[in-house]
Amino acid sequence: MSTSQRFDRGHTDDLMSFLAASPSPYHAAENAAERLEKAGFRRVAETDAWDTGTSEASAAGSGGKYVLRGGAIVAWYVPEGAAPHTPFRIIGAHTDSPNLRVKPLPDTGAHGWRQIAVEIYGGPLMNSWLDRDLGLAGRLTLRDGSSHLVNVDRPLLRVPQLAIHLDRAVSTDGLKLDKQRHLQPVWGLGDDVRDGDLIAFLEQEAGLPAGEVAGWDLMTHSVEPPAYLGRDRELMAGPRMDNLLSVHAGTAALAAVATGPGAADLPYIPVLAAFDHEENGSQSDTGADGPLLGTVLERSVFARGGSYEDRARAFAGAVCVSSDTGHAVHPNYAERHDPTHHPRAGGGPILKVNVNNRYATDGSGRAVWAAACEKADVPFQSFVSNNSMPCGTTIGPITAARHGIRTVDIGVAILSMHSARELCAANDPFLLANALVAFLEG
């Protein structure tokens, strides 16, 4: 048994708690930071000088540091005596998931129903949001510019489906949903729709003074908790596995490596980069296509006395695994998958390949991932899309192109991707975490 294998079924139990506690990217980033704090990591302020000071909050010197910005977190651990040109080993993931998000003028309604105006975020399976008890969570920004997280984690909203008696064709023609007209949730009764009702309600829920909220980033979530299912509890169902499963595994792996017996002798600087906005293109100040990761890594080199040459050497020797969920072969739609590549739930992490660079994996990246899995005694599988089907993408190609870092795309195979509730094998999350530990250790 490899010394890298540190996680068991308890990891999946902890994942379920993480999913339930992270209904928005902002909660996910905060929860990852809290777990890293317990492992000895300290937050570094982006507005501070990083090349001075000896306090725990300084970016100079050894130890665990992290930057928290909105729904994104970048964390890294510097071993004792690491040179400025020491290469990075990076786990990349994303904190956001497709859902329904509150519009700037949220209060609406008609025909005796009070409703909330929502916009579609990313590419959700819209039917999965129908007739489901929904909570509301996210970030409230106050007049002084500070932010406050809010989470109404109880049945508050519902998107009611049209009864079959009023749409007989649904049985033959299938369900057709108009994104504007058919997905606005109800949350009460009455014709007296008043501007400001929702925000006033959330101020009260969050214990904030009335009228203090100046902006908001709010989204719906299913309040049904994650759960094991199946005869032998060998499956796990839950929300936001795409991609909080990888955020959780990456956080656990980084904490394990930083607190392990070999932390002082690591040949690489292990990094976790969990971005926001992957589901809509990653183009934001907290997305993978923004400067956040590159800026943090550069500043960490310079904080340790490095030069631009040291920065170039550190990046040239770096490797990133972009960890995101992928598709397990669907038993009811096997023809939609490549006929020679059928990743199975419970078979270990998948290596994602696309020769048109929708995934960043190449042969050298495959070798890095294969070595990590062998060290951790973890099986892995290969995934390619059916040639007749468009291929999705990840932060992998963006990271490779933007930073010139060798990148390989991996993840856990799931069903019901982009549903309000997704499904995986209960043992795959801890297999992924074990392999990520081995990858970070080098």
Mean pLDDT of 17-22: 98
Q: Where are the alpha helices (DSSP H) in 304-362?
A: 308-316
Please tell me the distance from the alpha carbon of residue 246 to that of residue 248, in angstroms, as a whole number: 5
**Is the pLDDT assigned to residue 273 strictly greater than 90?**
yes
What is the tens place of the pLDDT at every residue in 248-269? 999 999 999 999 999 999 999 9
Residue 150's pLDDT is what?
A: 98
Residue 357: CB atoms within 10 Å:
14
Q: DSSP class of residue 422?
A: E
Please tell me the distance from the alpha carbon of residue 56 to that of residue 119, in angstroms, as a whole number: 42
Please tell me the distance from the alpha carbon of residue 200 to that of residue 308, in angstroms, as a whole number: 51
What is the tens place of the pLDDT at every residue in 373-387? 999 999 999 999 999
What is the tens place of the pLDDT at every residue in 90-111? 999 999 999 999 999 999 999 9
Query: Which pair of structure tokens corresponds to residue 281?
Result: 């293109």
Name the nearest CA neighbour of 424 among 271, 287, 242, 223: 242
Name the nearest CA neighbour of 151 among 56, 14, 28, 244: 28
